[in-house]
A and B are shown apart, each in its own frame.
Chain A
Amino acid sequence: NAGVTQTPKFRVLKTGQSMTLLCAQDMNHEYMYWYRQDPGMGLRLIHYSVGEGTTAKGEVPDGYNVSRLKKQNFLLGLESAAPSQTSVYFCASTSGSYTGELFFGEGSRLTVL
């Protein structure tokens, strides 16, 4: 049982380049999230989705776009990467129940030079 899978695990970009992070879950979860983790700042929500075809902004959405074309996949895009986007990115999913915990992927470490 794979759970939540993120690709790639590591990536180095130059300022201005674009890239997409892929998150895939095999638990038939409705809700999916993208967080970024920075030292001393915990996890901050970038964007989230409550179902196929829907997306919404989180706490720190600027510079990112997302898409949820299929229920099992949630893509995070950086159109023009900036050094401030150097971070570790985590995808998470949950069934949507208010009592349910989030299930996290292993993370994607992005460095923007």
Chain B
Amino acid sequence: AQSVAQPEDQVNVAEGNPLTVKCTYSVSGNPYLFWYVQYPNRGLQFLLKYITGDNLVKGSYGFEAEFNKSQTSFHLKKPSALVSDSALYFCAVRDRTGTASKLTFGTGTRLQVTL
């Protein structure tokens, strides 16, 4: 069965500093990996995805993520955090051999960016 772990419930960073939100995954075979963001009282919004190719994936709002197969990780990064980046972030994985294109989500990491 596929699974995702987000080891940090909350990440705190000062505006202007780089941020990293961690994600590790477990699937049989090669994964499809996704990051979503959720602002208060809103649905999840797609940020970026890894399908194949370059291990560094660029997405919306200046975010990027690095796929590391040997460490089974897909950490979300941004070079310079903004207060407006404060939100709940979810990592998700899809097994390439699974059915129905189901995504399995992590428990989420709350990012708090302060001035």
CA of A43 to CA of B44 in the docked complex: distance in angstroms? Answer: 10
Given contacts A45-B102, A104-B44, contact A98 B90 (CB under 8 A): no
- A50 interfacial by beta-carbon distance below 8 Å: yes
Q: Interface residues of A, CB < 8 Å — how many?
A: 29
Of the candidate stretches B12-20, B65-73, B74-82, B93-101, the one touching chain A is B93-101
**Is the CB–CB distance between A102 and B46 below 8 Å?**
yes
**Is the CB–CB distance between A99 and B32 below 8 Å?**
yes
**Is the CB–CB distance between A58 and B102 below 8 Å?**
yes
Q: Which residue of the partner chain A has the closest CB to B46? A: A101
Q: Is the interface of B mostly helix, strand, loop or mixed?
A: loop
**Is the CB–CB distance between B108 and A105 below 8 Å?**
no
| Count, A-B residue pairs, CB within 8 A | 58
Of the candidate stretches A13-21, A75-83, A89-97, the one touching chain B is A89-97
Q: How far is the CB of B15 from chain A (nearest CB, A)?
A: 26
CA of A98 to CA of B103 in the docked complex: distance in angstroms? Answer: 10
Q: Which residues on the B side are within 8 Å of A97 (C-beta)?
A: 101
Q: Which residues on the B side are within 8 Å of A99 (C-beta)?
A: 32, 49, 51
Q: Which residues on the A side are within 8 Å of B102 (C-beta)?
A: 33, 45, 48, 58
> From residue 56 to 113 of chain A, which have CB atoms closer than 8 A to chain B?
56, 58, 90, 92, 94, 96-107
CA of A104 to CA of B49 in the docked complex: distance in angstroms? Answer: 16
**6 A-B pairs in the complex with CB atoms less than 8 angstroms apart:** A42-B107, A50-B99, A58-B102, A97-B101, A102-B34, A106-B41
Leading 10 A-B pairs by shortest Cβ distance: A104-B43, A42-B107, A43-B105, A101-B46, A104-B44, A42-B105, A106-B43, A99-B51, A50-B100, A42-B108
**Which residues of B are in contact with A by a Cβ distance under 8 Å?**
9, 32, 34, 36, 41-46, 49, 51, 90, 94, 96, 99-108
